[in-house]
Structure formats: structure tokens, C-alpha cells
Structure 1
Amino acid sequence: MATSQKEVALTELHDRHGAELWRFALRLTHDRQVAEDVVQEVLLRAWKDPRLGEREEPAARAWLFTATRNLVIDRWRSAASRHELRTELPPDRSVEDGTSVVLDRWLVAEALGSLSPEHRAVIAAAYFEGCSVADIAARLRIPPGTVKSRLHYGLRSLRLVLQEKGVTRS
């Protein structure tokens, strides 16, 4: 299609659908300027479409409204619409709210609850109280080898439970 024919077709599209497209974009964006920008971008895309003149009226109208809707969705998804700003320097330090620590503790406590009482007792003594194998053996009145065995199998079971919860990798 020659440029003059394209201009005529684009002008006709704008005259027939421009106001409706703008109202549609305004309903989606609730911002007059953004709606104008969206319609302008859609008409520019229509201008660049080589099949512009080949489309029948209903197909052209559907294409324009679909393109408008898609462009608004793209703007919503973009960082600019969420008012995110890029900075050259990141903040000096992040402020942690402790949520991840609480969640980790909760997951570990739940996983520990699924272990046998024997495994849970040696793991708690070793890792939460800092007791040595000899101290645990004396306290529980079991041989040190049994303490080591319970630690080994208890930790293995704990890892499997956490993997099932999606906390750790296989």
C-alpha cells in the first residue's frame, strides 16, 4: 500500500475509532494522558502493520481494541506503572523484618515434630543446647555410638522432611 493510501486509511481509522479507543483506554487506565498515549501507540502500530488496508471494518476494529487492551496490560506490568525507580547506587544496607527467620524456625520446628522422640532428643541437645556426644550419652544413659547413630539418622530424616516441604534441594 502506498504511503498516501496508508495515510488515508489511518486517518479513517482514527476518525472512526479514535474517540472510542480513547474512552476504552480511559476506562482501563483511569488517566487521561495515559489513555491518549495508549491510543497514539496503537494507531502507530496500525500504521506499521502492512495489512492495514486489507482488513475489513470489523476485523480492523477488533484489532485496534485488542491492541489497546494488550498495551494497557503491558503498561500495568511494567516497572514504570508500579512507580519503581532505577538508582545507580543500591541502598547501603537492607532492613530485615525477621519474617524469613520466623518462617524458617516454624518450618524446622514442624519438621522436628515429625521425627521420633529419640531422634528429636539428640538433635535438640546437640544443636540447640550445644551438648557434646559424651554429654548427651550421659544425660540419656545410652552409649556414645547410639547418640552418633541417632544424630545421623535423625538429621537424614529431617533433611527428607524439609525436602518434601520444598525447603531444601534434593
Structure 2
Amino acid sequence: MVTDPEVLDQLHRDHANALWAYVVRLTNDRAFAQDIVQETMLRAWREGITDASDTNATSARAWLFTVARRLVIDEARSARRRREVVAEALPDGHTGDQVDAVFDAALIVDALTSLSPPHREVVVRAYYGRATVTEIAADIGVPPGTVKSRMHYGMRALRLALQERGVTR
């Protein structure tokens, strides 16, 4: 194994730029080409490849290019590469698992069914229909004060029903 840093530096100076250009031509990916050059130089270090003599220089260069080409081929054939999908932009955000949302919705529906029909109607129209007190009063034909009262007692009953089902504040 070659341990002399000067020999390894010279090998890098002599071949890294040409090797990088070669890999860029193969892959059209500058960052990936840099990774391949780095891995190739690491393998050269492990194998003890040097340019100590003029006759060895040609064989070292050929060895480096062969290793780089094989690394590119191996990466193209890898399972990781086949499963990766290149996206133009990152997704907006993590959506996460929707299981909790489904269970929460079922829990709320169950709690809403425990309310009296007048209280449930006002709560559902206000929170799910986004209707104002005036709109709800006009729709169901009761005074706005009655809507406010039903909303207050309906929300209180809903809070109690959710607490009974294990939902705490």
C-alpha cells in the first residue's frame, strides 16, 4: 500500500482533472463525477497505484479510467439508482400519515352525535359551514341570541363529550 502523501498528491494532480472530465462526459453530472473521482483515487491508494516511473504512468492512468468507468456502470445498475426519482423541485412539505386525522375526525363525529339536534346544527353550521351567527339565525329561523346560546351550550357539551372519549385539553 502506498502511504507517501507526495506520491498520492502527484497521482491526483496528474490524473484527477482528466478523470473528472471523462466521468462528466459519461454522466452529465458534475457533482457525481467528483464523487467518482474521489472513490477512484481512494481505490488507487488502497491498491498502491503510483506514477513512480514513466512506464507505470500509462498503466496507472488506464487503471484509473477503467475503475472510474466501472464505478459509473455499477451506480447505473444499482437498486438505489433504479428507485430514485429525480424531481425538478422539492415537495412543498411533509404530509405525514393521515391515520391520526381519520381517527380524530371519527372521534369528533362521534362526539357531535351525542349533542342534541339544535345544538349540533348550530355548531356544525358555524365551524364546518363557516356561517356567522346572523346567517345561522336567518337560515334556521331563530333570533341571533338563541343561536349564541345554543352555540355556547353546544360547545360546552361537545367539550365534555370529547373529554369522556379521552381527549383532554
Fold-level similarity (TM above 0.5) = no
**TM-score of the superposed pair, with normalisation by structure 2:** 0.45
| Higher gyration radius (CA) | 2
**TM-score of the superposed pair, with normalisation by structure 1:** 0.44
